[in-house]
Structure 1
């Protein structure tokens, strides 16, 4: 015999309710962050004279490596992953700046290009690492 339970609707799901669950806002916030970071990178490459160029570029320099490192660190708890990703992003930015200053080739567009390249490489490591882990597990009986 099967028991049938009737679920009562929550106030948030009532018709006409405008409340949205938090999981619906996460992709929206991620898209907005990507847009702000992309605008910052484009403005820095174009050397545009806009008052929000510096904050948007700084946001890109922190968000791009943070997002890439957070994708690689999926095994950590959310707070630990966020802290490690931001710390790693600061380290990547500092290493790029120090390396460019050491070889006397510092430029803002060059630094953004280097951070973008490093972030892309880190982000590409995440699926490759998952695929390598899957094949190693399949081989063992």
Structure 2
């Protein structure tokens, strides 16, 4: 549903589902990435922290784009997607690095 919202916003569709699906994407993508990074927390705490982090990521992207006078809906979606993917990539690298160091030490 989130991916569909991002696609609808990027192609500038006139669908009435574009708004709700895009909003879901803008909250779910960073929240999922942050939740993956906070693996050690209790489930409720991880959910609350992930949603709060998603709101922070969206606000920082919006503030940054407004500060440099480059505001656009498409650019915001691309920026949020890139930040979420970077967070997930860093989590994956950290987990893979942790596995290799554990295997090497007795």
- Higher helix content, 1 or 2: 2
TM-score of the superposed pair, with normalisation by structure 2: 0.93
Question: Counterparts in 2 of 1:51-130, with a 5 A limit?
Answer: 51-130=16-95
Structure 1 residues without counterparts, runs of 5 or longer = 1-35
The DSSP-based 3-state class of the residue aligned with 1:106 is coil
TM-score of the superposed pair, with normalisation by structure 1: 0.71
CA RMSD of aligned residues (A): 1.2
CA distance in 1, matches of 2:99, 2:4: 37
CA distance in 2, matches of 1:59, 1:53: 10
The number of residue pairs the alignment matches comes to: 106
Structure 2 residues without counterparts, runs of 5 or longer = none
Give the deviation of 1:135 after TM superposition. 3.4
Which one has the largest radius of gyration?
1
